[in-house]
Every structure is written in C-alpha cells, then in structure tokens.
Amino acid sequence: MATVSQVQREHGAPWQTHTVFNQPPPLEHLDVYTTNLPLVEAVEREGAGWVHERAAELGRFVGGAPQQSWGRLANENRPVLRTHDRYGNRIDEVEFHPAWHQLMQMGVENGLHSLPWTSDEPCAHTARAALYMTAMQAEAGFCCPITMTFAVVPALRAQPELAAEWEPRLMARTYDPRLLPPGEKASAIAGMAMTEKQGGSDVRANTTVATPLGAGGPGGEYEITGHKWFCSAPMSDIFLVLAQTEEGLSCFLLPRILRDGSRNAFHIQRLKDKLGNRSNASSELELHGAWAQMVGEPGRGVPTIIEMVGHTRLDCVIGSAAGMRAGLVSAIHHAAHRRTFGKRLIEQPLMRNVLADLCVESEATTALAMRLARAYDEADADARAGENGTDAQLFKRLATAAGKYWTCKRAPGHACEALECLGGNGYVEESGMPRLYREAPLASIWEGSGNVMSLDVLRALARSPRSLEVFLAEVEQARGADARLDARVEALKRQFSDAGTLETRARRVVEAMALCLQGSLLVRNGAPAVADAFCASRLGADGGLEYGTLPAGTDFEAILERGRPQAG
C-alpha cells in the first residue's frame, strides 16, 4: 500500500500546502498626500499651494507606522476608565494605549489643531484641510479631540480674557497628556459637553444648572451641577459646557484641573461602548458643583457654542473625504493585483465600473471639502476686515450644512462598497476595512444628524434669504458647461416654490443643493471624465441607486488613473 509521501512524490504534489499566491502585496510606505491627485489639485486650485511640501512630508509619514499599526493598535486596545485610585480617591482618568498618544502627538505637531489661528500664509484653513485629510487616513478617532481643540478657538473669543489665557496653550505644537494645573502646562486639548440623555440635539431641554459664585455674568465664576450624556475625549484640559442660568441656556469653560492643582468635580460615570471610533473615549459625566466660567452673554449659550459647532461640521466633511480616499485606495490596490477569471480584477468590466464610481464619489467629496475650507478662509478675512453678512460668510454657513448632510450620508455606502471589492478578505479585521466601515456613520451623527442638518439649512435660509442667491451664484459659475447640471439647477430652484411643504421635503432639497454644488465644482475644475460621469449618474437619468452603475460609455480608464494610489 502506497504511503502519502510516495503518492506525493509520484504525482509531483508539493510539500508546501500553504503557498500564498494571487494576493496583493502589502500597501506600505505610500505617500498618502502626493498620490491623492484630486486633493493635490484642489489644494493648488483653492490657493494653498504653499503647503504641498509640508503635506507630502506628512503623507510619507502617515503611510508608514501610523497607517500600518498605530490606528489598529489604538482600536484593538480600547481606552479604559479608572474612576478611583488604589486608595479609594476619585481620579476619573482614562488610560490609552501608547499608539493613541502617538497619533495625538502627530496631529498636534503638524498643527491640525491650530494652523488657521497661527499661520500668516494665505488660505490656512485650506492648507489645514489638506493636512487633516492626509493624517486621518491613519485613524479617525484621534481627530475628534484635534477637531474640538481647533474649533473651540472662535467660540472662546467671545470672552477675550479667557481666550487670552487659553489660546497660547491651545495653539501650542507640543502634546502633553498629563492632567496638570494650567500654570504647569504649556499646551492644552479642548472638548465639549452639550447633550443630555433627555434632550439629545434639543439642547434647550438641558437640565444642568449653573449657579453664580458672586456676581456671575460674562467671564464670571459658576458652579455647575448636572449630567452630560455625551462627552468625547474626557481627558481634555478644558471643555465648553452648556448649562441653564436664570437668563437661559449659557456657555461655560470648565477645566479638568483647577488652578490650585485640585481636580474639578468632573465625574466620569462610564465610557460608551460604541459601534466604531473605538480608539477615542466617549463618556457620560456627572458634574457635582464643578467650577466654570461663563463664555459670552448669559442666555446666549447656543449662539456662542455654535461657532465651535460650525468648524466641527467642516471637519466632518473633510473626514468623510478622508475615509472615502482610504477605502478607495485599498479597493484599487487589491483589484490591481488580484486575478480572477483570467484577468486582474481591475480589468474586469463590472469591477472597473464599481471602482470608477467610487473614484467619482471620492473626488466629488474632496472637491467639496476643499471648497468649503476656502470659504472659511474668505469668511475669516471678511470678519478681520470688520465686514459682516458678506457673501463668503453666507455661503460658508449654508454650504457647510448642506455639504455635511450629503457627504456624511454617502460615506457609509462608499465604505461598504470598497469593503466588498476585497470580497471576504474585506470582511476580516486584518484588512482594516471593517474599522473604516464602522467609522463611516459617525460623522453623520456628530454635530448634527441628517434631520438636524437639513433643518439647519432651512434655518439659514430663513435667517438670511440672500444666502440662497449666493449659493446659486456659486453653482451657476458652471452654467452652460453641462446641460444635465443646468437642468438640475433649474429643478432645484423650483423646489423652493412650495414653502408649505419645504420642511417635509428638506432632505430632498438639501441633497439637490449638495449635488448641484459638487457637480458645478467638478464641471469647472475636475477632469472631464470625472465630471461627465458625475453629471450622468448623479444629476442626469443615466445612473442607478448603487455604486457600479455608471453608463457604459464612461471613460473608466481616465477615472481610474486619477484614483489609483500610484497616480500623481
């Protein structure tokens, strides 16, 4: 009777059963900025070309250890809450894996939290957007405290003496995770705590109470008692908090550590067990007479903190673009090396359609994010000149709300389709795609869900009716260049004729606004193949409901060449 070994030798069967072939090589050491051709072009177009070299340096760094291991380690080793020390003293500290601190250090040292407030170069918001989009391809979670630190500055300036005290720390390019008294720390990270379990987006239903210690009023001292249902990054140094006063809902700056070195009455009840964003700690709080100072006027808490919210919404759009780019790169890389049915996947007609459609969505989102960033540059310039209610300020307000709604809604589907391009491998954690997919819905919820953003568009239009005229003027810069875009813009205008049903139709209206703006940007500035595919599938009638339904005449090769990571 022949043995197994004899049969193997006779028939030439290999000794090695675990031979790896037809798998893509590791996607390592990629300059995630320079190879992102739509982003590089947008940076130049929107006036921040001076940041190219700096962004490329960050892109090369991110493509190394941050992208390969830091994000994975920070998510696999979740933050841990320590409410008390071994002796029973209340400490309310969250422990993070070293990879989290490495990501935070990368963000702070590259000025993702401060560049528009510290740079004398033109279009600093646009430059920061390019850096942020690049860094976020390593991991999304750390960008939450980075964004809040960036966004707190315009809100804090409502109280100049507090801004003077804290801005130097908030803008410092050093990262120090220790909880120390303000006088012993050269840098700071900021967070915010607005929502409560009974109110959610309806912050005016908050029950947290602020009691004055003395005269109170702007800059005055208060004790705050209540709870907060969501507080991200609870190890931050300061927080903007909303609480009720006799005058109404007001905004406060609340430090974790008081000037005398004692810990504020800031008690973390638990950390949220979230769908995604697991590297970042999100918590529930109780405030037991916590010391804070009022920011802005009493009863004007929402208008004060909305300055912070607006900038976080901008980062939601930039973050959606970053997530789409990361998913697209993984999908194209896999398809370029995997062979199936006698061809590389990227050569298969239907897969080319799917990948090209993902490219179109990614490029449209990138173009929109970068145009919004320039709007912030223009609006800030007008404000510094003492001008209010300018076209740039109106466009910024309206386009941010519309852009956040639509791009954040598109992100989960894009991540899902990119994951599917890897087949079963994409469903496995090692691929990184499940983490990307879990992260994708967050931006649509953070700082305004879909309904909140749609209603916010209507509020902006009601408050400043001319903002629609300004928005349409931007879109119509492409008039005459594509008949499908022109027709969709005319249809958009008609949607405002029935004011009585506008709120019910708000999502449809805002979707149309965002699509028209994206279409206009691509028609004016994008590659012809991308603009044509976008207009055919998103604005015309020649597209389906899923990705991979571009019309057969699409220039797939030109679109894929722009999207593939070796381009640029």
Residue among 164, 157, 32, 166 at smallest CA distance from 106 = 32
251 and 305 Cβ atoms separated by less than 8 Å? yes
Query: How many Cβ atoms from other residues are within 10 Å of residue 445's Cβ?
Result: 15
The pLDDT-based confidence of 512 (bands split at 50, 70, 90) is very high
Evaluate whether 484 touches 543 at the Cβ level (below 8 Å).
Answer: no
Residue 423 in any domain: the answer is: yes
Tokens representing 7?
Answer: 């049969």
Helix axes 506-525, 466-475, angle to 10 degrees: 40
Residues 235 and 334 in one domain: no
Query: Is position 369 within any domain?
Result: yes
Half-sphere exposure of 241 (CA within 13 A, CB side): 37
More confident residue, 568 or 142: 142
**Looking at residue 204, what is its pLDDT?**
87
The yes-or-no verdict on residue 447 having pLDDT over 60 is yes
Long-range contacts of 173-179 (CB under 8 A, 24+ apart): 173/108, 173/109, 173/111, 173/114, 174/108, 174/109, 175/101, 175/104, 175/105, 175/107, 175/108, 175/109, 177/96, 177/101, 177/104, 177/235, 179/93, 179/235, 179/237, 179/256, 179/257, 179/263
Same domain? 441 vs 316:
yes
Same domain as 147, residue 103: yes
The pLDDT tens digits for 164-194 are 999 999 999 999 999 999 999 999 999 999 9
Model pLDDT, residue 567: 41
- Separation between Cα atoms, residue 194 and residue 199, nearest integer Å: 10
Domain assignment of residue 520, given as a range:
303-563
Identify whether 346 is part of a domain: yes
Does 42 map to a domain?
A: yes
Q: Give 519-543 pLDDT, tens digit per residue.
A: 999 999 989 999 999 999 999 988 8
Is the domain of 339 the same as that of 441?
Answer: yes
Same domain as 63, residue 102: yes
Q: Which pLDDT score is estimated for 13?
A: 53
Is the domain of 268 the same as that of 375? no
- The pLDDT tens digits of the residues spanning 109-147 come to 999 999 999 999 999 999 999 999 999 999 999 999 999
Is 257 among the domain residues?
yes
Q: How far is CA 87 from CA 83, 93, 95, 102, 258, in A?
A: 11, 15, 18, 30, 22
Say yes or no: 384 and 467 in one domain: yes
**Residues counted in the chain:** 568
Residue 30 is assigned to a structural domain of this protein: no
Is the predicted pLDDT of residue 568 greater than 60, yes or no? no
* Residue 425 clears pLDDT 50, i.e. is over it: yes
Are 143 and 213 in a shared domain? Answer: no
Which positions ≥6 away from 497 have C-beta within 8 Å?
none
Q: Give the list of residues 6+ apart from residue 19 with CB closer than 8 angstroms, or none.
A: none
What CATH number has the domain bearing residue 197? 2.40.110.20
Residue 177 confidence (pLDDT): 97
For every residue of 221-266, DSSP letters joined together read EEEEEEEEEEEE-TT-SEEEEEEEETTEEEEEEEESB-TTSPBPSE
Residue 471 lies in a domain: yes
- Is 10 a residue whose pLDDT tops 80? no
- Work out how many domains the chain is built from and give that number: 3
* pLDDT tens-place string over residues 291-342: 999 999 999 999 999 889 999 999 999 999 999 999 999 999 999 999 999 9
Residue 199 has pLDDT above 90, yes or no: no
Residue that terminates a domain, selected from 255, 270, 300:
300
Pair 225, 101 in one domain: no
Q: Are 415 and 389 within one domain?
A: yes
Which CATH number is 520's domain given? 1.20.140.10
Instruction: Please answer whether residues 323 and 436 qualify as being in contact, where contact means their C-beta atoms are separated by less than 8 angstroms.
Output: yes
